[in-house]
Amino acid sequence: MFEQPLLQVKNVTKKYGAGCQKCAALHSEVMIKNYCPVCRTVYACRDVSFDLYSGEILGIVGESGSGKSTLMQCLYFDLETSSGEVYMESSEWQGENLFYLSAKQKRSIRNSKFGMVYQNPIHGLKMEYSAISNIGEKLIAAGNRNVKEMESIGNTLFREVEIPLFRSKEKPLHFSGGMQQRVQIAKALSNNPPILFLDEITTGLDLSVQANVLDVIKNIQVEYGVSMIVVSHDLAVIRMLADRTLVMLDGQVIEKGLTDQILEDPQHHFTQQLVYSLI
Ligand code: ADP
Ligand code: MG
């Protein structure tokens, strides 16, 4: 691929604690998984680097606690990153490390360039607002003031994610889990962002509902050409969606490549376990 990556992520680290000389080296011997018993620092994610290309779906797979959500939250500016860089192509911030931008600039990027779908819809939706108001809220945050237009965008998106329009004035609180996730997806898409973060969005849903949400994601990717980072502990989900995949363990990336290659010829013993458990 010769094109420039849309998003370049370099050496992102999020640690809880100050760190010490014993755990300063990346593959330090004292570490117990992501934890330094000497200074009690947790490296929730450590030295993570990757590129995201335009229109691709990048998968991130790893067991619970491997740092996937932390990484997503750092990239979406929910969390303050300890160190690292992130660059976005073709934006007014091109060439600038986005982590160094002001809170206001970060808010603007969240509202216009990024969409986030959380594992728990409580984090992505206002449960007491109607479904359509949730879309409105995001559009207003991005500067839209035209009610008719917002309603029309909302209805188009609901059609896309298969929310019956007659339910658009209801609160997501009263929706099923799968429907709540579909409203979250619609909300994340409402400003037509080039980049979507999806964190374990089908975890906890029934298999048939899972399949439906994944179908919605695939259709959206084709139709909107949006780049996505899809996080899951479940390799089956990643296999269904992702062109390329990173495997995380204890906060670090232990393997990366084309999803097909990783499935056919996993290198790290942890990845091998993941792959064999699929069969
Ligand atoms: P995943 O999403 O892959 O399950 P997380 O990103 O949620 O993993 O968590 C990564 C690691 O960071 C876990 O070991 C978790 O316990 C730790 N962690 C998360 N938040 C904190 C915190 N506030 N203080 C200390 N450790 C934390
Ligand atoms: Mg998580």
Render pLDDT for 199-233 as a digit per residue (tens, 0 to 9).
999 999 999 999 999 999 999 999 999 999 999 99
Token duo for residue 97:
């490390």
Residue 245 domain flag: yes
Task: With a cut of 80, say whether residue 144 has pLDDT above it.
Answer: yes
Task: With a cut of 80, say whether residue 170 has pLDDT above it.
Answer: yes
pTM: 0.97
Instruction: Give per-residue pLDDT as tens, 12-70.
Output: 999 999 999 999 999 999 999 999 999 999 999 999 999 999 999 999 999 999 999 99
Across the chain, mean pLDDT equals 96
pLDDT given at position 278? 87
| 200 Cα nearest atom in ligand 1 | 2
- Ligand 1 centroid–CA 31 distance in Å is 15
Residue 67 domain flag: yes
Same domain, 188 and 248: no
Same domain, 177 and 256: no
Same domain, 26 and 150: no
Query: Which of 176, 192, 208 is the endpoint of a domain?
Result: 192
- Cβ atoms of 14 and 81 within 8 Å: the answer is yes
- Cβ atoms of 93 and 9 within 8 Å: the answer is no
Same domain, 144 and 173: yes
Confidence tier at 198 by pLDDT (50, 70, 90)? very high
Same domain, 89 and 149: no
Query: Which of 192, 208, 243 is the endpoint of a domain?
Result: 192
Residue 68 domain flag: yes
Segments forming the whole domain that contains residue 175 = 114-192
Residue 103 domain flag: no
Same domain, 242 and 266: yes
Task: With a cut of 80, say whether residue 1 has pLDDT above it.
Answer: no
Residue 102 domain flag: no
Task: With a cut of 80, say whether residue 80 has pLDDT above it.
Answer: yes
Task: With a cut of 90, say whether residue 258 has pLDDT above it.
Answer: yes
| 199 Cα nearest atom in ligand 1 | 2
CATH number, domain of 248, equals 3.40.50.300
Query: Which of 138, 157, 192 is the endpoint of a domain?
Result: 192
Query: Looking at the 3D structure of the chain, how many domains does it have?
Result: 2
- Cβ atoms of 136 and 143 within 8 Å: the answer is no
What are the pocket residues of ligand 1 if the criterion is a CB atom closer than 6 Å to any ligand atom?
16, 34, 42, 44, 62, 64-70
Q: Cα(241)–Cα(57) distance, rounded to whole angstroms? A: 7
Task: With a cut of 70, say whether residue 2 has pLDDT above it.
Answer: no
Instruction: Give per-residue pLDDT as tens, 81-139.
Output: 999 999 999 789 999 999 999 999 999 999 999 999 999 999 999 999 999 999 999 99
pLDDT given at position 219? 94
Residue 104 domain flag: no
Residue 203 domain flag: yes
Beta strand pairing call for 83-88 and 7-16: antiparallel
Token duo for residue 19:
């760190």
Residue 62 domain flag: yes
Starting from the CA of residue 64, give the closest ligand: 1
Q: Cα(272)–Cα(279) distance, rounded to whole angstroms? A: 11
